[in-house]
Structure 1
Amino acid sequence: MSGIEERIATPALDLDVLIVGAGFAGLYHLHKLRGLGFNAKIFEAGSYLGGAWHWNRYPGARVDSEGFLYQYSNPDLWGDFSFTERFPGGDQLRSYFKHVDAKLDLSKDILFNKRVASAHFDAVANRWTVEAEDGTIVSTKFISMCIGQSSAVHIPPAIKQTMGEFDGPIVHTALWPEESLDWAGKRVAVVGTGSSGIQVIQEVAKTARELTVFQRTPPIAMPLKQKYFSEDELVEEKKSYPANFAAVRNRFGGSEYDPFGPTAHAVTEEERNAVFERLWDRGGFSFWLGGWDDVLTDEVVNRWYYDFWRKKTLARIKNPKVAEILAPAEPPYPFGTKRPCLERDFYEVFNQDNVELIDIHANPIERITRNGILNSDGTERAFDVIILATGFDAVTGNLTRVDFHGTADQTLKEKWADGSSAYLGVATHGFPNLFFMNGPQSLNVICGGPSCQERNGDWLADCLVYLRENDIARIEATPESEIAWDAETDAHGAATLFPRADSWYMGTNISGKKKKILFYAGGQVLYYARLQECAANGYEGFVLTPADELDTADVVAAGSHG
């Protein structure tokens, strides 16, 4: 017997469920399944729990959801913990996860520093053999992938292929070192102006000798309007927590904002601008999500939003040429169809004499050099520190980087090479007993916070209980249900303006990735109704294989078993 065969024959663990990822989704799932009597463990790539917030240590990192909703709804957890900021920073979030760990005793069932490398499904035993990068092997009946939508770091090829030549520190915001970086008095480059780019730019600009920002696409960033709470204010706010947690379940995207109305066409220009002003003054994503429903479906309404945003933004930028790069007269994409950002003084940064903005859409980065960055126009700029805020291979990259082998003669990456598909966003044909939290064609983008992770976790836990009670050994999405869900997801996307943008929402930030909407744009209420409909009909759309039929390989279609 070879070494690998011996290790597979004697795995380190034999589980009911292996959960991958110890962020909001994975921790909730672990707590829920333990309470239901499942033998469940978590593989976590980091050295501690917290998911993205274990890794998000770059300066200025903070969540863009309001703190009262960016936590579990369990009163035992929020009753004696408080976020002191409207939009909590990374340090407060890491403190929150430590609090959750202490309350629920989660770490005892988490294996840290375990990044999954591969998983092979045994069609005879109906079990997965999972191997971590360090060689640890476990056998598990089910896998629940709870690794978030933004964990597969993306570095553009021109940078990735040459970054090793740079004679200084170069770091991606999602891989920030715990000891941080020293940029005070130095020449610093920041590549990217998405959410993390904006946050780190605002901090670096305070003390860097020179800051050069390389921007491909202008972000639509809105004022954060941060607030700090007193003890009395926190006591008062918590009185509304139960109602707030209940209300968020009935909103389209699971956000803290109620829309103003169905269409902006129903009011006069004066009335519309008055509403815009009120939303703008509230800060956060109020302007984006607290206005009219048709902002993402009606081109005229969408342009009204953009023009108002641009007018507000231009007033803050002194240099007209810089202003045109940051807030162009013609929208580079429909308002809100690329991930909007929140900012504190991002636009004022570009009024500083020591800050330069480079438009790499017009003048792309050709390579990283020993001294710094070379652009296609032949200009080389020297730096002491390079910071990459270049985003992620979102939604699918975190799944396809695992070498999944299912029942067919192909890997998951090979199956999704021409576009991803997952029935209900939770499972894909050919990979039985494998579940996705925040997978492609789920709510991922529009409802990725704790409230939706709890609902996703509850649905999957109910499913696993059903399988256990009915002695079902295998569950697998049918090709027909997957195709139908794919069509439904595409139809909802086509009814919006999202396909008009090249964004990670559509997968177009990754070279060679098919342009395809990666989330279910039908909204939260409809999505969870579809999940419940599936469950109520005996997990319709899946094929279930009872344990007593394994030898004959007979299958029982969902809804036809007793």
Structure 2
Amino acid sequence: MSDTHTHHDLIVVGAGFAGMYTVIHGVRAGLDVLGLEAGNDVGGTWYWNRYPGARCDVESIDYSFSFDEDLQREWRWTERYATQPEIHRYLAYVADRYDVRRSFRFGEFVDGADWDEDTQRWTVRTRDGLVASARWLVMATGSLSTPILPDIPGRDSFAGDVYQTSVWPDEHPDFAGQRVAVIGTGSSAVQSIPIFAESADELVVYQRTANYSVPAFNRLLDDAEWDQVLERYDERRELSWNGLAGSPWGSHPIPFEDVPEDERDAIFEEAWERGGVLFAKAFQGLTAKPEINAAARDFFERKIGGIVQDPQTLADLTPHNHAIGTKRICTDSGYFETFNLPHVDLVNLRRDPIVEISPEGIRTESGARGFDVIVYATGFDAMTGSLTRIDIRGRDGALLRDAWADGATTYLGVAVPGFPNLLVLNGPGTPSVLSNMALTSEQQGDYALRLIAYSDENGYTSVEARADSAHAWDAHGAELAGKTLFGDAESWYTGANIAGKARGFLPYIGGFRPYIDRVDAVAAEGYPGFVLTRA
């Protein structure tokens, strides 16, 4: 692919789970497909997020492609919750097996994309000068792939080493004997802090918001357990595809109010020992009904109360500003135990905010500390950031970031009014981050390719979401979210972590299987809600 101006049927941006699936099956469908990826290899979030301790919070045997039975049996997962290196090796293996890299250009950061109404094509431009056109543009750019840094006075003046968990270097730095500061206590911080503490001479964690975290209870998968997985893989996959979150796990079958009070702790304990986010499935309605949520919070507080020794540190590590599960529960390995170590300290930024960063270190209202290293674990512009950072211009030159200035509007989470032949995967209005992203990526890629095939078979040159359909879909999603406790939490689910970003619950909270049923019904009826045009 040495040409700087190329023409294709389909351009796919992103080489994570969704992008790889769409390229594999787009090529199988006979389309001329070009994949573009900013990184130097496949992997998506698992290419970039290589910080120490990076680990998926969905069990490995579920967090994998299901479309090929042979692939499922060929790849042998080693752990219950795989680490970043193993997941990246898996995706590289998939790329080799299906010759995925042949369709991709790597190291290509997409700057812009323009729709031409006359030619009914998209033209895509990259930072390095590539210009490519296609009838269809599929954005598989990821839900958590636009890192953010806090706007702190003096941030760029620090004279020591600076790292960001979401763009970690290939060679892990050695923190032995170093004074290390970590800013942020989200998932990447929760996973990496215990590892930093193993070698750092001093570790200070700067926390704005305490987060709920549940141990992973990770383990190696021995041969006997793996053989058992293979025997029941079909059944497990069926449960996952028909579940609310793309996994085989469900909530306790007896409603909370029907379980005697003295028996509830046993059910919470069972969910706790499943690990991580699965704790939120202890009882149906845990993230919707305040009385169930309060019981879960009480159980959590008793758990960490038995771990963290210092009363003030325990109080600071205990979340108070959101219901449990309304921010994604982190999955850890020894996170709370780390704060019992004599060389680890916690700074509560709500009580002692950062004033500035200096060449020597960090100064809060109470005083200054010197550091050799600062690690930012400050999250992402979630769900929309990877799209709005690109100059995507639809009909009449309308800019996507302007169209979404007051909130992301999509139909089925897949299509955007005013942007023909643009299909978004795992974006706002889809289950995405509330589900198993491996399976949602298959579903999303498959749906996009089915829509493309339907259009081609019926002679349509452009497909676009109707504005009224998109507004109805957004209203439906907002109504569902409003029946839960999620909307009360200041989280990246709602855009609250980005100053000036429109607030609204971004993912589809109605569940994975109900979402599939709804979008499949639209396909079966000939795609009502879309404008299908023959030029």
Sort the TM-score into its range (normalised by shorter chain).
over 0.9
Q: 1:387 aligns with which of 364, 367, 375?
A: 375
What residue number does 2:303 align with? 312
What residue number does 2:284 align with? 293
Verify the 8 A CA contact 2:477 2:510 in the aligned structure 1.
yes
Q: How does 1:58-73 map to 2 (within 5 A)?
A: 58-73=51-66
Q: How does 1:438-517 map to 2 (within 5 A)?
A: 438-517=426-505
Query: What is the TM-score normalised by the length of structure 1?
Result: 0.93
Q: Deviations over 1:280-318 (max 9, x none)?
A: 2333433222x2111011001100000001100111000
How big is the shift at 1:532? Answer: 1.0
How far apart are the structure 2 equivalents of 1:256 and 1:115? 37
How big is the shift at 1:144? Answer: 0.6
Q: 1:521 aligns with which of 509, 522, 531?
A: 509
What residue number does 1:555 align with? none
SS in 1 for 2:450: helix
Q: How does 1:229-308 map to 2 (within 5 A)?
A: 229-261=221-253, 263-289=255-281, 291-308=282-299
How big is the shift at 1:269? Answer: 0.7
Letter in 1 for 2:30: G
Q: How does 1:153-168 map to 2 (within 5 A)?
A: 153-158=147-152, 162-168=154-160
Identity of aligned residues (%): 37
How far apart are the structure 2 equivalents of 1:517 and 1:448? 18
Letter in 1 for 2:525: N
What residue number does 2:126 align with? 132
How big is the shift at 1:412? Answer: 0.6
Letter in 2 for 1:71: S
How far apart are the structure 1 equivalents of 2:340 and 2:149? 29
What residue number does 1:346 align with? 335
Q: Deviations over 1:166-189 (max 9, x none)?
A: 112111101101112121110000
**1:267 and 1:216, CA in 2 relative to 1: closer, same or farther beyond 3 A?**
same
Verify the 8 A CA contact 2:121 2:135 in the aligned structure 1.
yes
Q: 2:111 aligns with which of 108, 117, 134?
A: 117
How far apart are the structure 2 equivalents of 1:90 and 1:50? 10
1:142 aligns with 2:136: yes
1:370 aligns with 2:362: no
Letter in 2 for 1:207: S
How far apart are the structure 1 equivalents of 2:126 and 2:155? 27
Verify the 8 A CA contact 2:239 2:247 in the aligned structure 1.
no
Q: Deviations over 1:93-112 (max 9, x none)?
A: 12111211121111111100
Letter in 2 for 1:445: V
How big is the shift at 1:364? Answer: 2.2
1:206 aligns with 2:195: no
**1:233 and 1:131, CA in 2 relative to 1: closer, same or farther beyond 3 A?**
same
What residue number does 1:5 align with? none
Verify the 8 A CA contact 1:190 1:389 in the aligned structure 2.
yes
How far apart are the structure 2 equivalents of 1:302 and 1:256? 22
Q: 1:197 aligns with which of 189, 193, 202?
A: 189
SS in 1 for 2:43: coil
**1:132 and 1:374, CA in 2 relative to 1: closer, same or farther beyond 3 A?**
same
How big is the shift at 1:409? Answer: 4.4
How far apart are the structure 1 equivalents of 2:262 and 2:72? 42
How big is the shift at 1:213? Answer: 0.2
SS in 2 for 1:121: strand
SS in 1 for 2:461: strand
**1:424 and 1:25, CA in 2 relative to 1: closer, same or farther beyond 3 A?**
same
Q: How does 1:515-554 map to 2 (within 5 A)?
A: 515-546=503-534, 550=535
Verify the 8 A CA contact 2:277 2:328 in the aligned structure 1.
no
What residue number does 1:33 align with? 26
What residue number does 2:395 align with? 407
Verify the 8 A CA contact 1:33 1:40 in the aligned structure 2.
yes
Q: 2:83 aligns with which of 89, 102, 114?
A: 89
SS in 2 for 1:294: coil
Verify the 8 A CA contact 1:245 1:451 in the aligned structure 2.
no
How big is the shift at 1:262? Answer: 6.1
Verify the 8 A CA contact 1:30 1:40 in the aligned structure 2.
yes
1:324 aligns with 2:318: no
SS in 2 for 1:157: coil
How far apart are the structure 1 equivalents of 2:24 and 2:9? 14
Aligned length, in residue pairs: 532
How big is the shift at 1:263? Answer: 2.9
How big is the shift at 1:261? Answer: 2.8
How far apart are the structure 2 equivalents of 1:186 and 1:513? 37
Letter in 2 for 1:368: I
Q: 1:219 aligns with which of 203, 211, 216?
A: 211
Verify the 8 A CA contact 1:438 1:448 in the aligned structure 2.
no
| The 10-residue stretch of structure 1 (109-118 or 356-365) with the greater mean CA deviation from structure 2 | 356-365
How big is the shift at 1:525? Answer: 2.0
Letter in 2 for 1:52: T
How far apart are the structure 2 equivalents of 1:265 and 1:307? 16
How far apart are the structure 2 equivalents of 1:513 and 1:138? 31
What residue number does 1:7 align with? none
Letter in 1 for 2:529: G
How big is the shift at 1:378? Answer: 5.2
How big is the shift at 1:434? Answer: 0.5
SS in 1 for 2:96: helix
Verify the 8 A CA contact 1:19 1:145 in the aligned structure 2.
yes
How far apart are the structure 1 equivalents of 2:436 and 2:120? 31
Structure 2: where are the runs of 5+ without partners? none
How far apart are the structure 2 equivalents of 1:253 and 1:545? 35
Q: 1:101 aligns with which of 92, 95, 114?
A: 95
Query: What is the TM-score normalised by the length of structure 2?
Result: 0.97
How far apart are the structure 1 equivalents of 2:248 and 2:157? 46
How far apart are the structure 1 equivalents of 2:470 and 2:181? 44
How big is the shift at 1:365? Answer: 2.1
Q: Deviations over 1:454-507 (max 9, x none)?
A: 111211111111111111111111111011111101101101100110000111
How far apart are the structure 1 equivalents of 2:223 and 2:283? 34
SS in 1 for 2:39: coil
How big is the shift at 1:421? Answer: 1.1
Q: How does 1:2-17 map to 2 (within 5 A)?
A: 12-17=5-10
Q: Deviations over 1:111-130 (max 9, x none)?
A: 00011100111011111110
How far apart are the structure 1 equivalents of 2:436 and 2:132? 28
SS in 2 for 1:332: coil
How far apart are the structure 1 equivalents of 2:289 and 2:274? 24
SS in 1 for 2:199: coil
Verify the 8 A CA contact 1:41 1:109 in the aligned structure 2.
yes
How far apart are the structure 1 equivalents of 2:22 and 2:58? 22
Verify the 8 A CA contact 1:314 1:327 in the aligned structure 2.
no
Letter in 2 for 1:538: G
Letter in 2 for 1:279: A
How far apart are the structure 1 equivalents of 2:256 and 2:10? 48
